Structure 1
Amino acid sequence: MRTAAALLTCLLVACASGGGTMQSVDERVDSMMSAYAGDAPGAALLVVRDGEPLLRRGYGLADVGGRVPVTPGTNFRLASVSKQFTAAAIVLLAQDGALSLDDPVRKWLPSLPAAADGITLHHLLSHTSGLVDYEDVMPDHVDGQLHDADVLRLLEAQDRLYFAPGSDYRYSNSGYALLALVVGKASGRDFATFLRERIFGPLGMDGTVAFEDGVSTVAQRAYGHSDVDGAWVRTDQSSTSAVLGDGGIYSSIDDLAKWDAALHDDRLLSDASRRLAFTAHTPTGEADVDGYGYGWRIHDSGHGRLLWHSGETIGFRNVILRWPERRLTVVLLSNRNDPEPYALARRIAALYLEAP
């Protein structure tokens, strides 16, 4: 009898208040996402399994001042989630034979100082270059915004490294800004154009753009916000927001579903190229990261191999999680400074990974 009573209690606790039925997974997810709902900066959430969206919805506002709601087509600044596109551009050019991943970076950017002699494109991709962080050597006051070319100019004056190339790991926005410039040199097109013509256009990612103020626009744009003394204030751009290679791409969950699908086959990258990108080339010492690939963190999650990356910048917090062997992907994009969404995305993913 005690066992039956305990089972009845569990069933009553697990039931939704209306109709006495168990909460659906969608309802549980909506409850988990409730902090993003309402009249506040919001989020877009995508769950894809076997190429089919199990859940795609927006919460809250893309623009608080204009009271514009988030939809699955809202484009968020991806921040460092952009790095997987920068890496893919370099790997595509290697497939084309336009460059080699073993090329010295000074082959393409000869104005770098002698200290960079031992750095290859592979080192830049895997954060093992030892390059100085450009954020640490920026002027205290910047008129306008820095661009990738400005990062190069800053590094030209730094004839030193943190460590010998290939000997250690240190996450480097500098390296990915330089990779964007290499894409331009090797392809004969600027970085944004190359991405549009070789990745976004062929995949039908029509709303995705490496945003250049005065050159391109962002359709259905989410604006970044921060909580300042209990009020949401627009904090959409900083002095480094125009650097494209390390974090300047805008995209939506609908477009990222197309990107995810392309990473399961060879429509864009060959099997060999995807293996390179998804290989843990170096340990990082970071939590939930066994190693860094090319634009991806890699981790044995207990549910198989997890490929993931976060992106944090002023007013935006994002994450993409992919379990390729399970054919499950979760993307959570938000236009607010807090909270970081990784832990929440993992909890949402668990609902689907643990389902029978």
Structure 2
Amino acid sequence: MGTSTSAFRGAAAVTVDGEVVFESAETKTTWYRLASVGKHICATGILQAGLDLHTPVATWLPTMDDRVTLHHLLTHTAGVAHWQPGVPGFDIDVPMPVDERLLLMERAPLIAEPGAAWHYSSPGYALAGRVLEVASGRPYAECLNAYVFAALGATAITAGDPPADRTIAQGHRDGQPVPTNDLTSLPGTRDVWATAAGLADFTTRLHTSTLRGVRDLTGHVAMVTDEDGITTESYGYGLYAGTVDGKAAYLHPGDNPGFQTLSVWFPEQRASIAILANEETTDPLPILHDLVRLVP
């Protein structure tokens, strides 16, 4: 493979029709926090729970604006702001009990009318994850592990705390170790862990499954972009739909201090690419272009 794949700090894997065609040295042994790659997993958990996506979120979170629905949260059209300064009193780098964080998000003023515009919002997904907890009566991580990962038979991926007996990736910035935000227990945001091979396997299992609502994960809001061989046409429930080097793809990136992540599914080839870097300055796109050559 090209130097952009061989030199980066992290792990990568490629599968085609469920068979591994590339995996880096750390792919099987090191677990990474998936960051925003976990957004469509949150959506999948909500779909498996059978929640009505057009019911006002205030049904479960009474302090929320009663115009906001789960559909709005999952498509980033709720008008919920991203992190600071959009959520008054919230500092992503300051420790705070999860319930207090969520209450600040619930009460934050909307930055747009629900359904009127697309505004990327991780707090919106935290609220969606909280709805799943309230509606099911189970902790968020327990919901994902039961409704999604166990249902699919996916093993090298988990929600909540990372596996205690595995190697956990340390984040870096410019080669120096950096602490990451302690948001493990905040539902819907950065609380899913996997190896690169585990993420690729999960992606294949998800998109080839008969789980309820999987076909609803894509295509809800027009989102037209074109950059460096990657296009998007729409955003769904935690996934962009578009093309990578001319191949139809569903994808989502993620980042948090010390990490960059990217997951791509190619529906026509039944192929998956997982890139998990524990160096914050990593640009995953050159790595993706190297790896996509392995997709037929």
Considering only CA atoms, is the larger Rg found in Structure 1 or Structure 2? Answer: 1
Distance 2:165 2:185 in 1: 13
Distance 1:141 1:307 in 2: 28
Structure 1: state its 5+ residue gaps: 1-27, 37-41, 59-69
* Aligned residue identity for 2:192: I
* Deviation per residue, 1:244-278 (Å, 9 max, x gap): 312221111222233122223335x13xx122112
Contact 1:180 / 1:244 at 8 angstroms: preserved in 2?
A: yes
What is aligned with 1:21? none
Equivalent in 304, 310, 318 of residue 261 of structure 2: 318
What is aligned with 2:223? 284
Please list, as runs of the form range in 1=range in 2, the aligned pairs for 1:1-356 lying within 5 A after superposition.
28-29=1-2, 31-36=3-8, 42-58=9-25, 70-94=26-50, 99-112=51-64, 116-136=65-85, 137-139=88-90, 143-145=94-96, 147=98, 149-158=99-108, 160-212=109-161, 217=164, 219-227=166-174, 232-238=175-181, 240=183, 242-267=185-210, 269-270=211-212, 273-278=213-218, 280-287=219-226, 288-301=231-244, 303-349=246-292, 351-353=293-295
* Aligned residue identity for 2:202: W
In the superposition, relative to structure 1, how do residues 138 and 202 fare at CA in structure 2: closer, same or farther (>3 Å)? same
What is aligned with 1:8? none
What's the CA shift for 1:167? 1.0
In the superposition, relative to structure 1, how do residues 235 and 146 fare at CA in structure 2: closer, same or farther (>3 Å)? farther
What's the CA shift for 1:55? 0.8
Distance 1:258 1:142 in 2: 32
Contact 2:40 / 2:238 at 8 angstroms: preserved in 1?
A: yes
In the superposition, relative to structure 1, how do residues 199 and 341 fare at CA in structure 2: closer, same or farther (>3 Å)? same
Distance 1:223 1:244 in 2: 22
Percent of aligned positions that are identical: 29
Report the secondary structure of 2:131's partner residue.
helix
In the superposition, relative to structure 1, how do residues 51 and 207 fare at CA in structure 2: closer, same or farther (>3 Å)? closer
Distance 2:28 2:106 in 1: 42
What's the CA shift for 1:285? 4.9
Paired residues, number: 290
Distance 1:315 1:293 in 2: 27
Q: Which has the higher strand share?
A: 2
* Deviation per residue, 1:165-212 (Å, 9 max, x gap): 111101011110001111111211110111112222333433423234
Q: TM-score, normalised by structure 2?
A: 0.89
What's the CA shift for 1:142? 6.2
Structure 2: state its 5+ residue gaps: none
Contact 2:49 / 2:147 at 8 angstroms: preserved in 1?
A: no
Contact 2:204 / 2:271 at 8 angstroms: preserved in 1?
A: no
In the superposition, relative to structure 1, how do residues 78 and 141 fare at CA in structure 2: closer, same or farther (>3 Å)? closer
RCO comparison, higher one (Cα < 8 Å, 6+): 2
Report the secondary structure of 1:144's partner residue.
coil
Distance 2:30 2:254 in 1: 17
Report the secondary structure of 2:179's partner residue.
coil
> Is the deviation greater in 338-347 or in 198-207?
198-207
* Deviation per residue, 1:272-319 (Å, 9 max, x gap): x122112x2112354432111111011144634210000111011010
Contact 1:308 / 1:320 at 8 angstroms: preserved in 2?
A: yes
Q: TM-score, normalised by structure 1?
A: 0.75
Contact 2:92 / 2:181 at 8 angstroms: preserved in 1?
A: no
* Aligned residue identity for 1:78: L
In the superposition, relative to structure 1, how do residues 218 and 340 fare at CA in structure 2: closer, same or farther (>3 Å)? farther
- Tell me the C-alpha RMSD between the 2 structures: 2.3
* Aligned residue identity for 1:73: T
> Is the deviation greater in 289-298 or in 334-343?
334-343
Distance 1:205 1:220 in 2: 19
Distance 1:92 1:122 in 2: 14
